[in-house]
Chains A and B, each alone.
Chain A
Amino acid sequence: MGNALNNTNLGGFPKEYNPRIHGAYQADRFYGTPDKPFSSLKVNEVFQWLNRRDMSLTGIARFYSRKLYSHQRRYHLSAGSKGVGFVHFALFFSFLGFIRAYKHDRHLDDGKYH
């Protein structure tokens, strides 16, 4: 059973990463096959686009980590950032707290005509 871990890639670079082509590894870059950006899609292409994506757990984790690193590079590590990264971080987790506490006060929204 321990041999099941022989062909896994735990804690390593993505399989598509090649330093001879891509250079030094940067965590906020995507090293897979280039695809159309999400903002330039039409509505009928969205599901095809999503099917092409890597929807496994590691894929989702890589997406999340990439977005974190890119946000950090853009807003936190840049010159003259002045705490904007911290503010975005706090707002994101405030939103998650709002979602978590959604059911907390549902007994109070008892307005009949709203």
Chain B
Amino acid sequence: DWSNVHYLTRPDLSQQEKQWFKEAYKSPYKLYPPEKFLLKRGGNVVVEYVRVPVGTTRRQMIEKSFEAPEDEKDIAPFDLKKQWAWANKVLFGPQRDMKNYPSYVDPGTVPRPEIVHKFVPRSLFDAMVPYSGVTGFYVLSVGGVFALVGKGVIVSTYALSYFFYFGIAWAFTKLPPVRRFLDNRVPQLTNRLNEMYYVGPIQQKKDHISACIAAAQQTKDMIQQLPKLYDVQIENVDLQLENNYRDRLKQAFTEVKSRLDCQVALAATKAELEKDYMIDWITNQVVQNITPDLEKKNIQSCLAQLQTLSKSAKI
């Protein structure tokens, strides 16, 4: 029947803790558990599945959650249910006198009875008023002390006067101008001391911690950006290599080009030489073959051409 599966929480004890409990229950000397068995955040709880029959009430489920699990029953054979039932039967049975002996009241929830002058109960103070008036207590206490000193019950040694100085100083502080001054000055001084010795050091430590945290965060961020630096360094090296490559390429080109220029210049020079030699040789041959007779005929023909040209020229 999986329809009534309820979730109960029980403290999560490890094997070591259970062993410690067993030993501590049996020994009168083992008192406090070691620090590793301290409470964890959220409580030492573990969710445990328990199958219960149909019709289980919430009260029954709560009472069942107080039971110890099977492997812890031998640590302390203690049944909370039984103990509560027995206590209820004995302490709140039919014979119980609730009127004269009411049930337990936690004294921490009851306010302190009224007190006058820091240790005198108000009940004593008020009981004296019908017999000796409002100043009865003061007259009895102060006058009684002086009477006993006078009679010699409280012996007047050299140190007794010091007790009265405290009373006089206390009365002096009750005067209004002194009271006003003290109510201003004492908090001023105490706040100064407090800031100097308590608040200041704590704030210094907090600021130091914040600065350390900020520095650590900054370092973390810088570490996050380091891959960019590595890429830049690699790119730098790549640029230098490219530079070297281009230099060498240029050097190779210039060398090759210079050799080829040399070849070209050589060929050109050779061709020019051949040309000039041929021209010179041809002209020298022609000139050698020129006779004076031929020269004379050439000049005459030139003059005749010039004459014909001069006739058609426009000057």
Contact = CB atoms under 8 A, between A and B. Distances in A.
Contacts of A20: 90-91, 93, 95-96
A84 interface: yes
B95 A84 contact: no
Interface stretch (B102-110, B133-141, B198-206, B285-293): B102-110
Max chain A Cβ within 10 angstroms of own Cβ: one of B90, B112, B115, B156: B112
A58 interface: no
B112 A24 contact: no
A114 B92 CA distance: 64
B49 interface: no
A79 B119 contact: no
B152 A109 contact: yes
B113 A74 contact: yes
Contacts of A35: none
B104 A23 contact: yes
B116 to A, nearest CB: 11
A113 to B, nearest CB: 10
A110 B108 CA distance: 52
Contacts of B150: 114
Interface in B83-127: 90-93, 95-97, 100-101, 103-104, 107-113, 115, 118-119
B155 A109 contact: yes
A105 B103 CA distance: 52
Contacts of A84: 112, 115, 118-119
Interface in B13-34: none
Question: Which bucket holds chain A's interface residue count?
Answer: 20 to 34
B267 to A, nearest CB: 122
Contacts of B151: 114
Contacts of B155: 105-106, 108-109
B91 A114 contact: no
A79 B115 CA distance: 13
Given A20-B90, A87-B118, A109-B155, A79 B108 contact: yes
Contacts of B96: 20-21, 23
A29 interface: yes
Contact of B152 (A19, A77, A79, A111): A111
A73 interface: yes
Contacts of B161: none
B225 interface: no
Interface in A65-90: 73-75, 77-82, 84, 87-88
Interface of B: 90-93, 95-97, 100-101, 103-104, 107-113, 115, 118-119, 150-152, 155-157
Interface of A: 18-24, 26, 29, 34, 73-75, 77-82, 84, 87-88, 91, 105-106, 108-109, 111, 114
12 contacts: A21-B95, A23-B92, A23-B96, A74-B112, A74-B113, A77-B107, A77-B108, A78-B112, A78-B113, A81-B112, A88-B119, A105-B155
